Structure 1
Amino acid sequence: SCLAAQDFGDTNRPYAPLEALLPAVEFRLLLNKAVEIANATPLAEFANNSQSMENSKSESRSHIINELRKIFEEPGKTIGNRRPLQLAVKDKDSTRTSSSTGLRQLKLSGGAVRTACNSYTSNLRFGESYVLTANKSDRKRMIREDRLPGIKQVIVADLDLRDLYRNLVQTKIEDIQAEVFQEDPDFFEVRSLLTEANQAFNRWFELVRVQDILEAERLLAPLFLQTHGQIPHSS
């Protein structure tokens, strides 16, 4: 595409109230934690085929799968352990305590991630202009032929791209859920799916203002530490 909706730089991107972003950021932190767990043992260690190492590898893989089961929701089950998310959210006008993100999801599922992404997207605020990212010759041609898109077209294209990445994240996470809770899960398939889900989620977050992501992570850090013990590195 030759269009980038309203991207004059990070501060001028479409944006939503910070509380609308919190659920998606929390799920991203959970996904990053899952990736760290799965990658804790280098693949090279699984290549040793001695009998003693085979037993060790099997135990290591089982431990990793069990840890991942603590993060992902089992398909067909609903989350019973939830609690309200109360955070002080600052904006230009005030400091307020927000519970509008509803109940904290403590486990990852494709459907929950979809809901979190939709919560942010449905609250997006767009401006009255956009940047055309076509090359110089294409820009001249589009202007000459009066083919510049209207702002509504650009907004639709922006939302479609967000939905594309959201759908990809949802699908990959649902695939992980299905595999992790198999009787004999394929560890390497899980590891690959985690990488793909993480890459797709990163693409979705590339459309979000960086300063909003950092502020959401700062607000979530104390609760995440309390629940999960450490903040994962972005991957």
Structure 2
Amino acid sequence: MSDCSTCIVRNRAICASLETVELQALGNLGRKLKIKRGETLLWEGDPAPVVANIIDGVLKLSVNLQDGREQIVSVMYASDFIGRPFGKESPYSVTAMTDAELCVFTRSAFDNFAREHPDLQNKLLQRTLDELDRAREWMTLLGKKSATERIATLLIELSERLVVEGCSPINTRLDRFELPMDRQQIADILGLTIETVSRQFTRIKKDGIIDLPDRRTVVISDRARLELLAEVA
């Protein structure tokens, strides 16, 4: 591993709580790994030999339904932590939605390190609680929000989570970005049909809230109205 102090997600990743010496010790246990879009890091139900910080890129967590369909249960971004510390099997598959770069640790080495560093264990607990909160918010989205509100909520989240640290202040939100997923994946994430997703994009564009220069690019033209659609306080 290179010097962890130069990592672009250093201040947001799970290791942010560590002192310099501790950070270097953890860095010595890890390695950088680049994976291509569509490549799977962990498979649902299989042994989970690694955990990782996402340095760059977007990954999905998914499970297979009994009828063979895939259900995307979460989308993970730069600085997010993936894997199951202190666990033996992965409850979901972890697959890259874009080309990605990860900081990977063997689970056993990371578990041993975490046991010796209470601050890191506290950070793991906080991340777990944050993910639980996100899961509850997503349940509300899927259970109560309309198709338009779901699309707007996803676009707001992407505009905030795709910011690259070092290029923009941490709190800056993007008004132009590339979608890391296609229309079918958006439909799977939001519990909609692909036809509904396409209609909603067209509707929001027609209302002048966003522009769609091509299939992947989104330009937010009126953030206040988009937030109103998403019911963002």
TM-score of the aligned structures, taking structure 1 as reference length: 0.30
As a proportion of its length, which structure holds more strand? 2
As a proportion of its length, which structure holds more helix? 1
Higher relative contact order structure (alpha carbons within 8 Å, sequence separation ≥ 6): 1
Query: Whose radius of gyration is greater, 1 or 2?
Result: 1
